[in-house]
Amino acid sequence: MFADKPGEFAYPRELLLRLILMSVFDGGLSSREIERKTRTDIAYMYLAGMQHPSYRTIARFKVDYPDLIDESFKTTIKIAKEEDLVKIHHVSLDGTKIKAKTSMNKLTNEQQLKIMKQHLKESIELDEEEDMELGEESGNGVPETLTDKEKFK
């Protein structure tokens, strides 16, 4: 279980895993972007159960549980194929159609797994870049110049 601060309730691994898998399918978002989407994107709100884990919690989970994320991604792809949610009907070369659904399954799994690992790696690197730029700020708040009435005027 993961929590934002000591003494707060922890977020279930399943919740964090859902958010990270969704972000991988969206192209590998940074942890700050995932946190932002739990407040603005209906799909992420649903997956998070209307909870908003901090970017730091999400980033730690990515780094601490790469094997769990990897295994979950494999299982997700396997279930999608079993339910015919992922379809490869024909491969055509020079106008020749060859039934290739069975032979492409392993290739697709390996390609998708490589892509997922690359997206996860890029999102962790993006987290590190944002940490250097923003420090402990989440980047999701309203600037002080807009919240202070005197400065706003």
Q: What is the pLDDT of residues 100-138, one digit of tens each?
A: 544 444 545 677 778 878 888 888 888 888 888 887 777
Query: Between the CA of residue 63 and those of 67, 70, 80, what are the distances in Å?
Result: 10, 12, 26
What would the pLDDT profile of 1-41 be if each residue is shown by its tens digit? 555 556 666 889 999 999 998 988 888 788 999 999 999 99
Place of tokens 């979950």: 72
pTM for the full predicted model:
0.65
Q: What count of residues does the chain have?
A: 153
The amino acid that residue 103 corresponds to is S
What would the pLDDT profile of 58-67 be if each residue is shown by its tens digit? 999 999 998 9
What is the separation of C-alpha 6 from the centre of its chain, rounded to a whole number of angstroms?
Answer: 25
Instruction: Give residues with Cβ within 8 angstroms of 37, minimum separation 6.
Output: 23, 29, 43, 44
Token couple for 98: 């060859």
At 53 the pLDDT is: 92
